[in-house]
Amino acid sequence: MLFQTIAIDFIVKLPESGGYDSIMMVTDHNCTKAVILVPCQEKIDTAGVAKLFKDRIFPFVGLPKKIISDRDPRFMSTFFKELCKQLEVLQNLSTAYHLQTDRQSEKTNQHVETALQIYCDYQQNDWAEWLPIV
């Protein structure tokens, strides 16, 4: 089934665009490799991530059985661990920036960044408008 195992990652340190400076990337890890890109701010906290999932991910793809993420503090927090436990979602933590652990997410990050460089203007400050196309 689609989006039963998802990988979550953030693309950060982007030029500000529409009030955003980062992208939360959710990838269908096992089936289609489809990606959902959600603009956000790098300073987003765990509750903010949970809200993005509630509003922008779960209504379209449902609840996953497994979440793969790096050891970002947002995913290591007691809140996020308890959320996964309550929702009966298996949490699989990889090593941050370790390409061999979750090569797919890191490769997708590179593709998204390349596509944004192609579509965006020379100042690279309109990327949030291009996310739906990417």
Question: To 5 degrees, how large is the angle CA 28–CA 32–CA 33?
Answer: 50
The pLDDT value recorded for residue 101 is: 47
* Distance from chain centroid for Cα 44: 12
Cα 16 off chain centre by: 18
pLDDT of residue 37: 95
In terms of Cβ atoms closer than 10 Å to its own Cβ (0-12, 13-18, 19+), residue 6 is buried
Residue 98: per-residue pLDDT: 52
pLDDT at 57: 94
Give pLDDT tens digits along the chain (134 positions).
899 999 999 999 999 999 999 999 999 988 888 999 999 999 999 999 999 999 999 999 999 999 988 888 898 899 899 999 999 999 988 765 554 446 777 788 888 888 888 888 777 788 998 888 88
